[in-house]
Amino acid sequence: MTKENPFETAKQQIDIAAKKLNLDKDIVEWIKTPRRELIVNFPVKMDDGSIKIFTGYRVQHSIARGPCKGGIRYHPDVTLDEVRALATWMTMKCAVLNLPFGGAKGGVICNPKEMSKEELERLTRRYTSEISMIIGPERDIPAPDVYTNSQVMAWIMDTYSMNKGYSTLGVVTGKPLGLGGSKGRNEATARGCVFTIREAAKKMGIDLKKATAAIQGYGNAGSIAAKLLHEMGVKVIAVSDSKGGILNENGIDPVDVLKHKEKTGSVINHPRCKNITNEELLELECDILVPAALENVITSKNAHNIKAKIIAEAANGPTTPEADKILNKKGVFIIPDILANAGGVTVSYFEWVQDLQAHFWTEDEVNAKLENCMVESFNDVYEIHEKENVDMRMAAYMLALTRVADAIKTRGVFP
């Protein structure tokens, strides 16, 4: 089976929305073309004394609305097209939330599960040095993504600072609290997603206390989304990770499942649940489906079998354009990734602002500001969805493209 190219998907999504907006073709091509792409091949000394060459990427998609912003992922399947797509989606996401950023993304082809902490540190510091000429608090601010975390961000910040000769807290977000991190950042992606689910349920007349949910992916976003939904009264019936999923139609306790995963390495084989596949999880009878894993998991092959009423895309690009058409015809309410999972970049923006001011907010302040941003953005997108009679993804892209195109036109072409 040919794997979908995520960058082609991203460009296709832009084309569809641009046509609806009747945007100038030259502006559309400008928006679809990443501004800068850096490929680096660099040596890392491994624990056994050998030298291994790794390949890393940093793609800066747009600076029309401000500095670039986007995560760095460590994964064996990282490709340049994947990084390009993720950078493009970041531009759209920041525009939907009306943040003063353009999109960027980075990645290193590696398997962090097979590397020691010392090897990961050496890889991170070398990769940071290789891309340091194009990142910075005013230029491009990285953040955590798949298989990177606050410790990795601390190494990036320290490496960049050592090369500069002074501490530069604002070069990355998602840092530990003691190094300029923001309270509420760890839960932000999931919390933002849950705010959009709550707003969608209100619009659809779904009582969350009687609703069921299935969550694919049990990393940071998936596990916290499960916990927050559970606390709101939603019955979480299934969750999964890369090894498989579990189902209990009477409901599961997300905290208990997380403890089981931390102990055994996976959610599977939980004593009070039945094992299922990731594919089966997507097709379960439930009210809310949260894809919180990788791209292109909902395709034309399985979209017909999806029974959820709401799909909240906590992952980036989990639904292909073909699947979108099928789901929309079925009346499934999709909260698109560039809205649903924008809580992470929103609180990253808050962290960057706090770093630049050297003044930090309480967790309640952060969560309140996040809720305001997510609810306002959901309503902005929903208004276009209603007014233009388009699905939510189209509405989100129309809003984002309008804002990016306006910025490009207002700034003009230099020189």
Residue 33 pLDDT > 70, yes or no? yes
Q: How large is the average pLDDT for residues 351-355?
A: 98
- pLDDT for 4 equals 72
Give tens-digit pLDDT for 254-266: 999 999 999 999 9
36-175 with 188-340: one CATH topology? Answer: yes
Residue 201 pLDDT > 80, yes or no? yes
Amino acid at 33: T
Give tens-digit pLDDT for 214-253: 999 998 899 999 999 999 999 999 999 999 999 999 999 9
Share of the chain above pLDDT 70, in %: 99
For the chain, the domains span 36-175, 188-340
Quickly state the pLDDT bin for 5 (edges 50, 70, 90). confident
CATH of domain 188-340: 3.40.50.720
- pLDDT for 247 equals 96
Quickly state the pLDDT bin for 294 (edges 50, 70, 90). confident
Domain with residues 36-175, CATH architecture: 3-Layer(aba) Sandwich (3.40)
* 334 within 8 A of 317, measured Cβ to Cβ: no
- pLDDT for 2 equals 53
What residues act catalytically?
Answer: 105
Q: How large is the average pLDDT for residues 297-311?
A: 95
Phi, psi angle pair for 103, to nearest 5°:
-95, 150
| pTM (two decimals) | 0.92
Residue 188 pLDDT > 50, yes or no? yes
Quickly state the pLDDT bin for 381 (edges 50, 70, 90). very high
- pLDDT for 1 equals 44
